[in-house]
Amino acid sequence: MKGTRPLKFIPMLGLFLGLASCSSNPYATTNKAYKKQVKAYAKTLRTTPVVNPGEDSLMRGDQWVGTTNFNLRKPNYVVIHHTAQNSTEQTLKTFTMPKTQVSAHYVIGRDGKVYHMLSDYLRAWHGGTGKWGNTTDLNSSSIGIELDNNGYEPFAEEQINSLLKVLAILKKTHGIPAANFIGHSDIAPSRKVDPNPTFPWKRLAEAGFGTWYNEEAVRNSVFETIIPPYNDSTATVVDSAAIPLPVLPPSTVVAVDTIPLSFQPKEALRIIGYDVQNLEAAIKAFKLHFIQKEVNGVLTDDDKKVLYHLYKKSL
Ligand SMILES: [Zn+2]
Average pLDDT of the segment spanning 237-262: 68
Residue 45 alpha carbon to ligand 1 centre in Å: 30
Helix (H, G, I), strand (E, B) or coil at 146: strand
Ligand 1 centre and the CA of 86: distance in Å?
Answer: 15
- Per-chain mean pLDDT for the chain: 89
Q: Which amino acid is at 126?
A: H
**Paired residues of 182 in beta bridges:** 79
- CA of 37 from ligand 1 middle (Å) equals 24
Helix (H, G, I), strand (E, B) or coil at 111: coil
Distance 84 CA to ligand 1 centre (A): 8
Residue 68's identity, in one-letter code, is: T
CB 195 within 8 A of CB 147: yes
CA of 104 to the centre of ligand 1 (A): 9
Residue 250, pLDDT score: 59
Q: How far is the CA of 187 from the centre of ligand 1 (A)?
A: 10
Which tens digit of pLDDT belongs to each residue from 30-87? 999 999 999 999 999 999 987 776 788 888 888 889 999 999 999 999 999 999 999 9
**What percent of the chain is modeled with pLDDT above 70?**
84
Of 55, 146, 157, 158, the catalytic one is 146
pLDDT in the model for residue 231: 65
Task: Give the separation between CA 135 and CA 133, rounded to whole angstroms.
Answer: 6
Q: Is 146 a catalytic residue?
A: yes
Instruction: Please give the pLDDT value at position 232.
Output: 59
For residue 166, what are the CA distances in angstroms to 104, 120, 223, 282? 14, 12, 40, 28
The rounded Å distance from CA 82 to ligand 1 centre is 6
Model confidence pLDDT, tens digit, residues 171-212: 999 999 999 999 999 999 999 999 999 999 999 999 999 999
Query: Which structural domains are found in the chain, ordered by start?
Result: 77-206 (3.40.80.10), 215-228+253-314 (no CATH)
Ligand 1 centroid, distance to 134 Cα (angstroms): 20
Q: 10 Å Cβ neighbour count for 313?
A: 14
